[in-house]
């Protein structure tokens, strides 16, 4: 369940970042530099959150593939 949430969170942040950058270009073209700067900051922050949620997704994927029970059995049985 968490894996799907991380996947959708990545998509949402990437879309918000892209739309913010497009809005920044439009604002700068119409000489609204403060609006453009705030849209750029929003876009960069959104792209950073996209990278962070991608790393969480990858971490969740590796946790699903690892075999914690096998490791526990190995250490409990003394490596036999």
How many structural domains compose the chain? Answer: 1
Residue 68 to residue 76: CA distance in whole angstroms: 12
Q: Per-residue pLDDT tens for 29-51? A: 999 999 999 999 999 999 999 99
Asked whether residue 79 carries a pLDDT value surpassing 60, the answer given is: no
The three-point CA angle 29-42-19 to 5° equals: 60
Q: Is residue 45 within a helix (H) or strand (E), and if so which, with residue range?
A: helix 33-65
25 vs 6, more confident: 25
Structure tokens at 54: 């991608």
Q: How far apart are CA 71 and CA 74, in angstroms?
A: 5
Statement: residue 1 has pLDDT above 90: no
Q: Which residue range forms the structural domain that includes residue 11?
A: 2-76
For 58-73, what is each residue's pLDDT tens digit? 887 777 666 556 666 6
């Amino acid at each position: 369940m968490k894996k799907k949430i991380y996947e959708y969170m990545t998509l949402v942040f990437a879309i918000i970042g892209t739309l913010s950058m497009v809005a920044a270009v439009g604002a700068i073209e119409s000489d609204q530099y403060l609006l453009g700067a705030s849209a750029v900051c929003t876009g960069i922050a959104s792209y950073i959150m996209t990278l962070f949620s991608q790393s969480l997704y990858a971490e969740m994927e590796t946790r699903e593939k690892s075999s914690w029970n096998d490791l526990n059995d190995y250490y409990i049985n003394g490596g036999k």
